[in-house]
Structure 1
Amino acid sequence: MPIRREHRGFYPIDWPQLSAVIRFRRAGGRCEGCGRPHLQRVVCLSDGRWWDAQAGTWRSGRGRPLRRSPAVDLLTEVRTTRVVLAAAHRNHDTSDNADANLTALCQRCHMLHDRPEHQRRRWFTLFRRKASGDLFRGPYPS
Structure 2
Amino acid sequence: MPVDYKKYPKNWLTEIRPRILERANHKCENCGLENYSIVHSYKKNKKVVWEKLSYGDYMRMEAKTVKVILTIAHLDHDETNQDITDDRLKAMCQLCHLRYDADEKKRRRSSSVC
TM-score where L is the length of structure 1: 0.63
Write 1 or 2 for the structure with the bigger share of strand. Answer: 2
Instruction: Classify the secondary structure of the residue corresponding to 1:22.
Output: helix
Query: What's the offset of the Cα at 1:83?
Result: 0.7
- Whether 2:5 is the aligned partner of 1:19: answer no
Give the aligned length.
Answer: 106
1:86–1:115 Cα change, 3 Å: same
Write 1 or 2 for the structure with the bigger share of helix. Answer: 1
Which gives a bigger RCO, structure 1 or 2 (Cα 8 Å, sep 6+)? 2
- Partners of 1:112 and 1:86 in 2: how far apart? 13
- Whether 2:90 is the aligned partner of 1:90: answer no
TM-score where L is the length of structure 2: 0.76
Query: What's the offset of the Cα at 1:124?
Result: 2.7
Which letter does structure 2 place at the counterpart of 1:75?
Answer: M
For residue 43 of structure 1, the aligned residue among 31, 36, 40 is: 40
Query: What's the offset of the Cα at 1:49?
Result: 4.4
State the match for 1:104 in structure 2.
Answer: 91
- Whether 2:31 is the aligned partner of 1:29: answer no
For the aligned residue pairs, the C-alpha RMSD in angstroms reads 2.6
Query: What's the offset of the Cα at 1:109?
Result: 0.5
Instruction: Classify the secondary structure of the residue corresponding to 2:109.
Output: helix
Instruction: Classify the secondary structure of the residue corresponding to 2:91.
Output: strand
- Unmatched runs of 5 consecutive residues or more in structure 2: none
State the match for 1:3 in structure 2.
Answer: 3
